[in-house]
């Protein structure tokens, strides 16, 4: 009853339940938008569904998965009990109650405002209050992660924090910084407007505050995948991590550069000048650095494994890797999707060129590849890896696991590659139906059908994933738990404080945020946007 | 990196602190130099702007792009409605007194719109359960001449601002009870589709996107269900012909002028029957 | 090659990583350099017109009053298009623009956030209540294009679009008042 | 992972893997050649794709400012 296993499993099952429902909704949405589904459903139903899909995937799957995985890491990597376990349960229940509070108004059609908070269109106050509770629950997790690491450091002076915990705490700190923007927007602008306490809203300010959160939140979702790349994948492949130091630097760079770049989501907005937009585009250039470092470090780690297994030549090591292991397979597929998604992102961030693709299917393709593809396929792999530890049971067969990962990869590629093409031709986002009688839109029809087929494959994969987990709960007991976390080629024995904690980096984040967001926010204090009247959906 | 055998962590740390700070500041300053100075000044020179204006535009202190001159053009306006939705107006509506509204209704409106907002003749609209802002806007438009009616123009001109709000609030608070709802008969499927889905071919948005309570559409959009069939048809025709033109930005004129007579009839019956 | 001391070897690994980071830095500089180069030589920016306007009184006076909307050619030959984006319609619904000439699109909204793009072109901007969104561009091909609303603005969002007629110089003839409307087709 | 009774077997720093030191030293002579070629060519492809889209699609569609 008191075990951390229960805590982790509770979080993970909430995450994956929301995920499965959201997959069904997403597939239905693609059907409605395709030429096959004309006259199916109504716009009211469609936007209700999009809201539920976005909230479940972006806020519930991610937050609950990251919390559950974080608790697992804190206990297994630090090899000490989790501090403040009752608090962890409090965070869980706050999140779950918040989720239910948000879902009820969505289902009643009183929050069909999508999962982004863009007043003056506002939904029911319960929707926002529920989501604030989810975030507040995750703040408890952040504090527990920080405390767990601090206590371990006190007990182990001079020893480097295990990389996997260092990465998890980096993500917790990143999340605290990230949520500051959206929490301010919700508490001071959106919730008073939804409650009817105020009749107007400063839209320029609300968009700017949301942009504070909008980019870093995606890194919050991605960092568990990166954590797995550095700490789980090399061991699963039978090798060593190429460099522990670079792992630490990578997570530090993510903390530094994923925040002061949010205005690249507002490149097409009229409330910011070109100057601040350019500065944040430049900083966005730097947020690619930790990803590109990861690609090299992890490739090198895999190369170690491949060569240890007898691979030769420049590329022979790739074939020699144990692709039959889900973690290795998922990492390989995740990198392919990261490549395509990263390419889309490179186009998005390119200042004026953003105009070519902003708010088109290109963007939807980009974040489905990066988050739905790379991050979520690693969530699957992590779940497959830690579930035996959580349940004390072993997978009876790895074949259905591999099939599920392959289906997810194929479905994602078939769904998103047409979206890039459609986006370049101007297919816009967030619509319930297209007029396929229009000569321009008519040409898009076949590609929309292809992407719908990809959606069906994704749905099959999602259902297979849940089945695999259910089967595991009834599988034979695990004989001996395998060690999970990879060693580095040269394990660190001593590291500078800068690479063993976050004091310096928090100061630098504060400075960067002041420089990057000081003027964009201050301008609304000097000259507020002319007030816009709130439009309430309720 | 220094050799870890020779130094303790906190000594090791110093270069990290210095170099990380220098790197971060250099990047931001380079960005500022390019984005706020070099790019706008060079662009401004090509567009005939002085450097100061170009930099102010890049910072968003002055309007316009640093790369282009601002257009200028002003012609005198003739607005189709004088009503604006400001916090002050919404405040007036929120503070309305339904008792005073009822007194005014019994004195003036009752003859046509009934005490409970149920109209006495098919050419007059039912007002029970109508949205307050919708009634407020129409009375104002009669007052300013944006909407014209042989009776209503003079009646509205005799009302002052708080009374308009009171009357609007009174009728808005009356329950819906249309005594003579239309019977649907065989309502064609295309009418239901027009209400729920609109018509993408003709660029007509769904009626329900604005005329359903709590949908977050235009503030002045009236509630239509259980409105009189005759009145609805008359108004759609008046919008279609341009006879009625107090819809801001011609939203209803544009839509109504695309509807066929059969659709106008069908939509009027749909809403009169009480569908939402 | 001789066996290195682990710490020396770790430093060599970090040296390799640093070399990689340098290469990556060069590539990032190349992508950013493209942006800076085209900003300097071609004046390419994201649309960033920080021009405040009261969304509540747009229809009463000024350039966004109903009959001031549409395409106007000024005395100096510059083409300006004024468009209102409102729930759930663009006014006007058909927009005439010339090919191969600089066009300035100015958009405002009286209600919620909208956004536009024009298919096959680089015209794209958010339309945020409280601001005039402005795009300067040149249309490089003629024909009918779609201009949909690309930001969710309510249930009627999917039916919100306008048509853009890109006209050749022969077709694009302003009237006496400088106004140009779409050709009936 | 019986959480309240942590076992040393869970501490990664204390669990050696079965990788032979000599074998590791041998492969480390070639690593990261393959990784550099693989990752380098992928990143180069990305940047080339970016430049192609910038020059062949974005610019011909008309400049914006």
Query: Is the distance from CB of A239 to CB of D19 less than 8 angstroms?
Result: yes
Q: What is the dihedral of CA B217, B219, B220, B223, to 10 degrees?
A: 60
- What pLDDT score was predicted for residue B8? 53
Is the Cβ pair C9, D29 closer than 8 Å? Answer: no
Is residue A368 flagged as an active site residue?
A: yes
Task: Give the chains touching D; criterion: ≥3 Cβ pairs < 8 Å.
Answer: A, B, C
Q: Give Cα A427 to chain centroid, integer Å.
A: 25
Ordered DSSP codes for A422-459:
HHHTTPBSS-S---TTSHHHHTTHHHHHHHHHHHHHHH
Q: Which of B42, B59, B76 is where one domain is finished?
A: B59
Query: For residue D11, which of A226, A481, A68, A391 has the smallest C-alpha distance?
Result: A481
Query: Of the residues A33, A53, A215, A235, which is catalytic?
Result: A215
**Considering the domain boundaries, does residue B82 fall inside one?**
no
Residues of D in contact with A296 (CB under 8 A): 32, 35-36, 39
User: Rounded CA gap, A328 and A236, in Å?
Assistant: 6
User: Rounded CA gap, A91 and A105, in Å?
Assistant: 22
Query: Is the distance from CB of B118 to CB of B177 less than 8 angstroms?
Result: yes
- What pLDDT score was predicted for residue B11? 61
Please indicate whether residue B71 or residue D50 has the higher confidence score (pLDDT). Answer: D50
Going from the C-alpha of B64 to that of each of A270, B53, B70, the distances in angstroms are: 10, 10, 6
CA distance C155 to chain D (A): 31
Write out the two tokens for A334: 């995740």
φ, ψ dihedrals at A380, nearest 5°: -60, -50
Q: Which residue of B has its CA nearest to A261?
A: B28
Query: For residue A36, which of A429, A448, A432, A443 has the smallest C-alpha distance?
Result: A448
Query: For residue A532, which of A265, A128, A193 has the smallest C-alpha distance?
Result: A193
Is residue A535 flagged as an active site residue?
A: no
Is the Cβ pair C27, D60 closer than 8 Å? Answer: no
How do beta strands C70-73 and C79-86 pair?
antiparallel
Residues B168 and B185 in one domain: no
Residues B103 and B145 in one domain: yes
Query: Is the distance from CB of C172 to CB of C98 less than 8 angstroms?
Result: yes
Residues of D in contact with C44 (CB under 8 A): 63-65
- What pLDDT score was predicted for residue A280? 97
pLDDT tens column, A242-295: 999 999 999 999 999 999 999 999 999 999 999 999 999 999 999 999 999 999
Query: For residue C121, which of A266, D51, D58 has the smallest C-alpha distance?
Result: D58
**Considering the domain boundaries, does residue B71 fall inside one?**
no
Residues B167 and B198 in one domain: no
Residues of A in contact with D64 (CB under 8 A): 352, 355
Beta bridge partners of C104: C80, C136
Q: If pLDDT is split at 50, 70 and 90, which confidence band does B10 have?
A: low
Q: How many independent structural domains does chain B possess?
A: 3
Is residue A473 flagged as an active site residue?
A: no
pLDDT tens column, B203-237: 899 999 999 888 899 999 999 999 999 999 999 99
- What pLDDT score was predicted for residue C9? 84
- What pLDDT score was predicted for residue B70? 86
Which of B62, B74, B82 lies closest to C60 in CB terms?
B82
Q: Which residue of C has its CA nearest to D65?
A: C45
Is the Cβ pair D64, C45 closer than 8 Å? Answer: yes
Residues B113 and B156 in one domain: yes
User: Rounded CA gap, C149 and C139, in Å?
Assistant: 19
User: Residue B248 carries which DSSP code?
Assistant: G
User: Rounded CA gap, A162 and A74, in Å?
Assistant: 10
pLDDT tens column, A347-397: 999 999 999 999 999 999 999 999 999 999 999 999 999 999 999 999 999
Residues B198 and B166 in one domain: no
Is residue A493 flagged as an active site residue?
A: no
Which of B78, B209, B218 lies closest to C111 in CB terms?
B218
Is residue A53 flagged as an active site residue?
A: no
Q: If pLDDT is split at 50, 70 and 90, which confidence band does B76 have?
A: low
Q: If pLDDT is split at 50, 70 and 90, which confidence band does B201 have?
A: confident
Helix, strand, or coil (residue B96): coil
Name the maximum alpha-carbon separation found in chain D.
67
Going from the C-alpha of D31 to that of each of A184, A247, A299, A306, the distances in angstroms are: 48, 17, 10, 10
User: Rounded CA gap, B70 and A113, in Å?
Assistant: 35
Q: If pLDDT is split at 50, 70 and 90, which confidence band does D15 have?
A: low
Residue B75 has pLDDT above 90, yes or no: no
Residues of A in contact with D19 (CB under 8 A): 238-240, 308
Is residue A395 flagged as an active site residue?
A: no
Q: Which residue of D has its CA nearest to C6?
A: D25
Is the Cβ pair D63, C46 closer than 8 Å? Answer: no
Is the Cβ pair B57, A286 closer than 8 Å? Answer: no
| Interface probe, candidates A35, A498, A537, chain B, greatest B C-beta count within 10 A | A498
Which of A426, A489, A531 lies closest to C120 in CB terms?
A426
Residues of D in contact with A2 (CB under 8 A): 4
Residues B168 and B95 in one domain: yes
Query: Of the residues A159, A358, A402, A429, which is catalytic?
Result: A429
Residues B186 and B233 in one domain: yes
Residues of A in contact with C130 (CB under 8 A): 202-204, 271, 529-532
CA distance B14 to chain D (A): 27
User: Rounded CA gap, C8 and B4, in Å?
Assistant: 11
How many beta carbons lie within 10 A of that of residue A271, not counting itself? 26
- What pLDDT score was predicted for residue B77? 65
User: Residue A532 carries which DSSP code?
Assistant: E
Is the Cβ pair C28, A359 closer than 8 Å? Answer: no
Is the Cβ pair A347, D37 closer than 8 Å? Answer: no
Helix, strand, or coil (residue C74): coil
Q: Which residue of B has its CA nearest to D65?
A: B67
φ, ψ dihedrals at B177, nearest 5°: -155, 75
**Considering the domain boundaries, does residue B204 fall inside one?**
yes
How many beta carbons lie within 10 A of that of residue B158, not counting itself? 9
Q: Which of B105, B137, B172 is where one domain is finished?
A: B172
Residues of A in contact with D52 (CB under 8 A): none
Is the Cβ pair C1, D29 closer than 8 Å? Answer: yes
Average the pLDDT over B77-106 and give the result: 90
Average the pLDDT over D16-37 and give the result: 90
Residues B99 and B158 in one domain: yes
Residues of B in contact with D65 (CB under 8 A): 43, 65, 67-68
Q: Which residue of A has its CA nearest to D7?
A: A79
**Considering the domain boundaries, does residue B246 fall inside one?**
yes
Q: What domain range includes position B165?
A: 87-172
Residues B150 and B197 in one domain: no
Say if C15 is an interface residue toward chain B (CB within 8 Å). Answer: no
Query: For residue A254, which of A230, A278, A279 has the smallest C-alpha distance?
Result: A230
- Classify residue B72 by burial, with Cβ atoms within 10 Å: 0-12, 13-18, 19+: exposed
Residues of A in contact with D53 (CB under 8 A): 347, 353
HEC string of A361-375? Answer: HHHHHHHHHHHHHHH
Write out the two tokens for B217: 């559409």
Residues B228 and B247 in one domain: yes
With a CB cutoff of 8 Å and minimum separation 6, the contacts of B29 are: none
Beta bridge partners of A535: A121
**Considering the domain boundaries, does residue B65 fall inside one?**
no
Q: Which residue of D has its CA nearest to B65?
A: D65
Return per-residue pLDDT of chain A as tens, 538 residues.
348 999 999 999 999 999 999 999 999 999 999 999 877 888 999 999 999 999 999 999 999 999 999 999 999 999 999 999 999 999 999 999 999 999 999 999 999 999 999 999 999 999 999 999 999 999 999 999 999 999 999 999 989 999 999 999 999 999 999 999 999 999 999 999 999 999 999 999 999 999 999 999 999 999 999 999 999 999 999 999 999 999 999 999 999 999 999 999 999 999 999 999 999 999 999 999 999 999 999 999 999 999 999 999 999 999 999 999 999 999 999 999 999 999 999 999 999 999 999 999 999 999 999 999 999 999 999 999 999 999 999 999 999 999 999 999 999 999 999 999 999 999 999 999 899 999 999 999 999 999 999 999 999 999 999 999 999 999 988 877 778 899 999 888 888 899 999 999 999 999 999 999 999 999 999 999 999 999 999 8
Residues B92 and B162 in one domain: yes
Q: Which residue of D has its CA nearest to B66?
A: D65
Query: For residue A357, which of D45, B34, A367 has the smallest C-alpha distance?
Result: A367
Q: Which residue of D has its CA nearest to A297?
A: D35
- What pLDDT score was predicted for residue A38? 74
Residue C162 has pLDDT above 60, yes or no: yes
Task: Give the chains touching C; criterion: ≥3 Cβ pairs < 8 Å.
Answer: A, B, D
Query: Is the distance from CB of A297 to CB of A246 less than 8 angstroms?
Result: yes
pLDDT tens column, C54-72: 999 999 988 999 888 999 9
Is residue A159 flagged as an active site residue?
A: no
Q: If pLDDT is split at 50, 70 and 90, which confidence band does D1 have?
A: very low
Peptide bond into D32 cis (omega under 30): yes
**Considering the domain boundaries, does residue B189 fall inside one?**
yes
Write out the two tokens for B13: 């740390």
User: Rounded CA gap, C80 and C36, in Å?
Assistant: 27
Residues B127 and B188 in one domain: no
Element (H, E) at C83: strand C79-86
Query: Is the distance from CB of B209 to CB of B221 less than 8 angstroms?
Result: no
- What pLDDT score was predicted for residue C184? 77
Q: Which of B140, B172, B204 is where one domain is finished?
A: B172
How many beta carbons lie within 10 A of that of residue A347, not counting itself? 23
pLDDT tens column, A478-532: 877 778 899 999 888 888 899 999 999 999 999 999 999 999 999 999 999 999 9
Q: State chain B's mean pLDDT as an integer.
A: 89
- What pLDDT score was predicted for residue D5? 36
- What pLDDT score was predicted for residue A441? 94
Element (H, E) at D49: helix D33-53
Task: Give the chains touching B; criterion: ≥3 Cβ pairs < 8 Å.
Answer: A, C, D
**Considering the domain boundaries, does residue B100 fall inside one?**
yes
Say if D62 is an interface residue toward chain B (CB within 8 Å). Answer: no
How do beta strands C102-108 and C79-86 pair?
parallel
For chain D, the distance separating the N- and C-terminal CA atoms, rounded to the nearest angstrom, is 59
Residue with the two structure tokens 């024909």: C143
Going from the C-alpha of A300 to that of each of A229, A307, B157, the distances in angstroms are: 12, 10, 82
**Considering the domain boundaries, does residue B81 fall inside one?**
no
Number of CB pairs < 8 Å for A and C? 211
Residues of D in contact with C122 (CB under 8 A): 58, 61-64
Is the Cβ pair C129, A532 closer than 8 Å? Answer: yes
How many beta carbons lie within 10 A of that of residue A283, not counting itself? 26
Ordered DSSP codes for A331-369:
HHHHHHHHHHHHHHHHHHTSGGGHHHHTTBHHHHHHHII
- What pLDDT score was predicted for residue B12? 64
Domain CATH for B117:
1.10.760.10
């Amino acid at each position: 009853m008191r075990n951390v296993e229960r805590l982790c499993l509770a979080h993970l099952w909430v995450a994956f339940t929301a995920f499965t429902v959201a997959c069904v909704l997403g597939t239905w949405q693609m059907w409605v938008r395709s030429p096959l589904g004309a006259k199916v459903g109504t716009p009211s139903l469609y936007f209700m569904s999009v809201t539920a899909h976005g909230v479940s995937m972006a806020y519930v799957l991610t937050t609950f998965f990251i919390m559950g995985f974080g608790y697992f890491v804190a206990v297994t990597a630090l090899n000490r009990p989790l501090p403040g376990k009752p608090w962890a349960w409090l965070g869980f229940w706050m999140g779950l109650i918040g989720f239910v509070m948000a879902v009820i108004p969505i289902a009643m059609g009183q929050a069909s405002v999508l999962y982004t908070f863009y007043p003056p269109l506002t939904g029911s106050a319960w929707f926002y209050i529920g989501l604030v509770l989810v975030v507040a629950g995750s703040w408890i997790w952040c504090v527990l992660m920080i405390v767990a690491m601090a206590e371990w450091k006190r007990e182990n002076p001079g020893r480097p924090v295990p990389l996997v915990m260092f990465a998890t705490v980096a993500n917790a700190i990143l999340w605290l910084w990230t949520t500051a923007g959206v929490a301010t927007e919700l508490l001071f602008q959106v919730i008073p407007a939804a409650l009817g306490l105020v009749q107007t809203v400063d839209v320029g300010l609300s968009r700017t505050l949301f942009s504070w959160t909008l980019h870093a939140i995606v890194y919050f979702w991605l960092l568990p995948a990166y954590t797995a790349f550095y700490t789980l994948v090399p061991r699963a492949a039978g090798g060593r991590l190429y460099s522990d130091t670079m792992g630490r630097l990578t997570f530090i760079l993510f903390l530094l550069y994923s925040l002061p770049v949010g205005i690249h989501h507002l490149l097409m907005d009229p409330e910011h000048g070109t100057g601040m937009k350019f500065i944040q585009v430049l900083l966005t250039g730097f947020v690619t650095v930790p990803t590109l470092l990861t690609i090299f470090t992890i490739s090198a780690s895999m190369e170690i494994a491949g060569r240890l297994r007898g691979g030769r030549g420049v590329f022979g090591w790739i074939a020699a890797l144990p692709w039959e292991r889900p973690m290795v397979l998922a990492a390989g597929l995740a990198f392919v999707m990261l490549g395509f998604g990263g390419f889309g992102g490179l186009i998005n961030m390119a200042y004026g060129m953003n105009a070519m693709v902003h708010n088109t299917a290109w963007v939807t393709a980009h974040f489905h590849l990066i988050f739905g593809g790379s991050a979520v396929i690693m969530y699957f792999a992590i779940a497959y890896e830690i579930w035996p530890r959580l349940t004390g049971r072993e997978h009876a067969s790895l074949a259905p696991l591999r099939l599920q990962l392959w289906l997810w990869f194929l479905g994602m590629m078939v769904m998103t590659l047409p979206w890039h093409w459609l986006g370049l031709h101007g297919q816009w986002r967030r619509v319930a139906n297209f007029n396929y009688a229009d000569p321009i839109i008519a040409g898009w029809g076949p590609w929309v059908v292809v992407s719908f087929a990809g959606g069906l494959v994704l749905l099959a994969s999602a259902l297979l994933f849940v089945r695999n987990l259910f089967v595991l709960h009834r599988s034979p007991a695990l004989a001996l738990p395998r060690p999970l976390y990879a060693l580095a080629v040269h394990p660190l024995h001593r590291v500078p404080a800068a690479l063993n904690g976050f004091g310096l980096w928090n100061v630098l984040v504060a400075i960067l945020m002041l420089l990057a967001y000081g003027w964009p926010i201050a301008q609304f204090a000097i000259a507020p946007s002319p007030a816009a009247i709130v439009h309430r959906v309720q | 990196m220094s050799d870890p055998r020779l130094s303790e962590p906190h000594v090791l740390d110093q270069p990290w602190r210095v170099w990380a700070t220098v790197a971060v500041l250099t990047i931001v300053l380079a960005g500022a130099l390019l984005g706020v100075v070099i790019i706008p000044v060079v662009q401004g020179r090509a567009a005939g702007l002085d450097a100061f204006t170009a930099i102010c535009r890049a910072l968003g202190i002055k309007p316009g792009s640093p790369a282009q001159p601002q257009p200028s053009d002003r012609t005198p306006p003739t607005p189709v409605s004088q009503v604006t939705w400001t916090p002050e107006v919404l405040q007036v509506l929120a503070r309305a007194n339904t008792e005073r509204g009822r007194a005014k209704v019994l004195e003036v409106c009752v003859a046509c719109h009934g005490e409970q907002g149920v109209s006495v003749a098919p050419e007059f609209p039912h007002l029970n359960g109508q949205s307050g802002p919708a009634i407020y806007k129409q009375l104002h438009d009669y007052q300013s001449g944006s909407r014209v009616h042989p009776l209503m123009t003079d009646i509205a001109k005799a009302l002052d601002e708080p009374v308009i709000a009171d009357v609007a609030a009174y009728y808005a608070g009356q329950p819906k009870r249309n005594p003579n709802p239309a019977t649907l008969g065989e309502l064609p499927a295309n009418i239901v589709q027009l209400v729920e889905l609109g018509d993408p071919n003709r660029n007509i948005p769904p009626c329900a996107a604005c005329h359903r309570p709590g949908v977050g559409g235009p503030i002045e959009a009236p509630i239509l269900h259980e409105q009189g069939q005759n009145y609805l048809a008359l108004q759609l025709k008046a919008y279609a012909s341009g006879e009625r033109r107090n819809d801001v930005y011609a939203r209803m004129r544009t839509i109504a002028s695309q509807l066929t007579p059969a659709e106008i009839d069908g939509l009027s019956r749909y809403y009169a029957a009480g569908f939402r | 090659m001789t066996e290195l001391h682990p710490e020396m070897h770790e430093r060599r690994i970090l040296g390799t990583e640093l070399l990689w980071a340098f290469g990556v830095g060069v590539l990032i500089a190349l992508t950013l350099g493209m942006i800076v180069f085209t900003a300097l030589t071609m004046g390419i920016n994201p649309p960033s017109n920080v021009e405040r306007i009261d969304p509540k009184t747009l229809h009463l006076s000024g350039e966004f009053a109903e009959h001031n909307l549409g395409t106007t050619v000024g005395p100096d030959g510059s083409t300006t298009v004024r468009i209102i984006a409102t729930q759930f319609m663009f006014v006007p619904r058909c927009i005439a623009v010339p090919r191969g000439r600089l066009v300035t699109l100015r958009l405002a909204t009286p209600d919620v956030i909208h956004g536009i793009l024009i298919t096959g072109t680089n015209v794209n901007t958010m339309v945020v209540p409280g601001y005039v969104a402005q795009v300067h561009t040149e249309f490089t091909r003629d024909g009918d294009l779609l201009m949909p609303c690309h930001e969710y603005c309510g249930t009627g969002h999917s039916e919100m679009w306008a048509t853009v007629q890109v006209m050749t110089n022969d077709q694009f003839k302003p009237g006496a008042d400088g106004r140009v409307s779409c050709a009936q087709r | 992972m019986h959480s309240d009774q942590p076992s040393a077997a869970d501490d990664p720093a204390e669990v050696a893997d079965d990788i032979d030191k000599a074998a590791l030293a041998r492969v480390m002579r070639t690593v990261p050649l393959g990784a550099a070629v693989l990752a380098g060519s992928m990143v180069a492809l990305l940047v080339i794709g970016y430049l192609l889209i910038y020059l062949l699609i974005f610019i011909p569609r008309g400049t914006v400012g």
